[in-house]
Structure 1
Amino acid sequence: MEPEWSSLFALMLVISPASAQDSDLDGAWSDFWILRFFINLAGYTTIILPGYLLVQYFKRKNYLETGRGLCFPLIKTCVFGNELKSGGQEEPAPTSRTEGTESSFTKQTLKLLACVIGLQVSYLTWGVLQERVMTKAYGRTETDPGVKFRDSQFLVFMNRILAVTVAGLCCALTKQPRHGAPMYKYSFASISNILSSWCQYEALKFISFPTQVLAKASKVIPVMLMGKIVSRKSYEYWEYLTAMLISAGVSMFLLSNTQNKHPSTVTTFSGIVILAGYILFDSFTSNWQDALFKYKMSSIQMMFGVNLFSCLFTVGSLLEQGAFFQSLAFMLQHPEFAFHAGLLSICSACGQLFIFYTISQFGAAVFTIIMTLRQAFAILLSCLIYGHSVTMVGGLGLATVFLSLFLRVYARSRMKSKKRTAQCQTPVQKV
């Protein structure tokens, strides 16, 4: 009886106005990336706009002072935060994030090494699974070529729903600090993260592989510039210099060792625009999360808040477009896809744990450098395993990267030692 019910449910999901009868029509409008972008954005707006109006309403009404009832704690947390004082103060002054000054250099190095290994393992595995899900057909037989799964937004939803579940369980089972950031502030990082993921998938259809490599390798500079806008950060000249050297070194290594292994498609104007959108949204996401960590919160709380809004945005857009039930039907028809999507979500959830912890401990720029080096690590590992040779240009690129990292660590340690020396020499004023 159960298999019959599953088959009936799958049939009900497949038979919809946007099913096989309209496949040609869907293929026509789906060729225009800008139309799909605005359709997705319109779906997110139907959630963002009412939320924005509610937040403004509760602030104008001074609900923190006049509100009562069962909904008061929820509204207070979502709109005002948990550590507000009475007297009309709208938001708490953010406290500085701990920089690990009390920890030894060895302890900080081990933390950074653990973050690097965790991020590399999680996202290298995630990349392999992502390629399998998005490029290979399911249900392929000798007579049937199979069908590919094309809705990347549903995969984003799958990743986020598992991540918010894991983070929610951790928050419920372990003691977490109280923090003052209103819940609605997580939505900014959530929407930018969703849009950056969409742009990353979409750009691959319009750009060549070398263009993709150069863009991802040079992402450190846009992240630092966005940090000046979002958090009013100031960077030393050596930080800009090492960032440019790292980008140049990674680009040299990747292009010299992958130019013959990937088909090079034509880079179009649309590809450049989408790629610029990906870099812009991705730079904002990490810097906004870095700014939120100035409030008293843990990486688990950050993971829960961001993924909660991501689930809300993606499921709302999928339901409005009618793609949610189509994707569920695809999962029922192809159990192998369901298995792969589950593994993809697990890798994504593990990767997010390391992402938020890395940003909370070392900041957005260091996290971006680690992720920039991820592609170089993958190719270097392939060279070691399969015996591929590294070209002279690739070796020079690797040497540039490691020299830049050494200079960055050395300069940072010198800056910290100078600050500690200046603090020790400052006379204590008597009251």
Structure 2
Amino acid sequence: RLLFCALGLQISFLLWGILQERVMTIDYDGRKFKNSQFLVFMNRAMSLLVSWSVIKYSRAKDDIAPMYKYSYASFSNIMSSWCQYEALKFVSFPSQVICKASKVIPVMIMGKIVSNRSYPYYEYCTSVLLSIGVSAFLLDAHHLDHHPITKTTLSGTILMLVYISFDSFTSNWQEQLYKKYNMSSVQMMFGVNVFSTALTLVSLLTQGTLPACIAFMMSNSSFAVHVIMLSTCASIGQLFIFYTISCYGALIFTIIMTVRQALSILLSCLIYHHTVTVQGGIGMTIVFLALFLRIYAKKRTARAKTVT
């Protein structure tokens, strides 16, 4: 089941990334679509529709969690996305990579704050190893040469710290709701997207950009098809996100998404015959070593508990 979650997350977000790049870069009747916030709104709206349909079709039990509690996860998710995009303007590529690759550790710290959860020592050790390995692989000289921003400003550092804080809170808060209210992953998806759809819609309306986006979509059938495909892919990705968190918790989800970054680039290297440097090879070796040690330590701890 864990392999199913990992593969589902990997495939859905790989396709989502390809589709998003296509929508934002190709011309539609000689014009480019540049409003990424509208795409976020469509993704959230589609996820809301999909989760509502699944709940109605499966006749799931009534949700007992107060609706306002979903707003915390929704707000933190939107804020983490905004901070991440804004930080890209002020943060160097190495800083971005190290920050994203090290998210496992803040998630553990936030788990302690939100749920008062304790982790065994091997979790901390393997998380540090994992962060080092992913950072080493992604900080390949090839990638450094192609990034325009070479310096990190104070504003960028603050934005990245806020991004990590909100991002770590989101998955931990969702895990806390799962434990407290015993809800399904689809119910969580519906509750969060009610607020996410509303917040992004309000933002589009206040900026006055919604009519132009709808007009662009109505006048370009190929664009409309691409947006629907993108939103569907995002919805499938969300189903895997909420299911993974409900089954395995925030930490395992973050580990999967962290490793996904390295695997995506490794897959690209294999498909397009890019060379992997010695540094990249060492980085991937550390990643797999960290994952192996984590599995080994967990099994050994479980065996020791059984004996005692």
Q: TM-score, normalised by structure 2?
A: 0.93
1:203 and 2:87 correspond: yes
Backbone CA RMSD of aligned residues? 1.9
Contact 1:222–1:280, Cα closer than 8 Å, also in 2: yes
- Which residue, out of 131, 144, 162, partners 2:46? 162
1:22-52 deviation digits (Å, cap 9, x = unpaired): xxxxxxxxxxxxxxxxxxxxxxxxxxxxxxx
1:217 and 2:101 correspond: yes
Instruction: Point out 4+ residue stretches in structure 1 off by more than 4 angstroms.
Output: none
- Which residue, out of 171, 177, 184, partners 1:292? 177
- Which residue, out of 272, 281, 297, partners 1:386? 272
Kindly, what percent of the aligned residue pairs are identical? 58
1:333 to partner: Cα distance: 3.7
1:411 and 2:301 correspond: no
Contact 1:257–1:394, Cα closer than 8 Å, also in 2: no
Letter in structure 1 aligned against 2:82: W
Letter in structure 2 aligned against 1:112: L
Q: Report the CA distance shift for 1:326/1:285 in structure 2 as closer, same or farther (over 3 A).
A: same
Distance across 2 between alignment mates of 1:259 and 1:364: 29
Partner residue, 2:136: 252
SS at match of 1:181: coil
Partner residue, 2:165: 280
SS at match of 1:259: helix
Task: Map residues 90-101 of structure 1 onto 2, 5 A cutoff.
Answer: none
1:391 to partner: Cα distance: 1.4
Q: Report the CA distance shift for 1:201/1:341 in structure 2 as closer, same or farther (over 3 A).
A: farther
SS at match of 2:149: coil
Contact 1:119–1:354, Cα closer than 8 Å, also in 2: yes
SS at match of 2:139: helix
Partner residue, 1:105: none
1:91-149 deviation digits (Å, cap 9, x = unpaired): xxxxxxxxxxxxxxxxxxxx111111100001011112222333455432xxxxx3441
Larger radius of gyration: 1
Contact 1:178–1:296, Cα closer than 8 Å, also in 2: no
Task: Map residues 333-412 of structure 1 onto 2, 5 A cutoff.
Answer: 333-412=219-298
Partner residue, 2:12: 122
Distance across 1 between alignment mates of 2:244 and 2:94: 28
Distance across 1 between alignment mates of 2:2 and 2:190: 23
1:184 to partner: Cα distance: 1.4
Q: Which runs of 5+ in 2 are unaligned?
A: none
Contact 2:51–2:187, Cα closer than 8 Å, also in 1: yes
- Which residue, out of 65, 82, 102, partners 1:181? 65
Contact 2:94–2:144, Cα closer than 8 Å, also in 1: no
Q: Which runs of 5+ in 1 are unaligned?
A: 1-110, 141-145, 423-431
Letter in structure 2 aligned against 1:348: A
Distance across 2 between alignment mates of 1:136 and 1:280: 34
Q: Name the one with the larger helix percent.
A: 2
Distance across 2 between alignment mates of 1:340 and 1:317: 23
1:256 to partner: Cα distance: 1.7
SS at match of 1:297: coil
1:201-260 deviation digits (Å, cap 9, x = unpaired): 222233232222121111111111111111111112211111010010001111126425
Distance across 2 between alignment mates of 1:364 and 1:260: 30
Letter in structure 1 aligned against 2:5: C
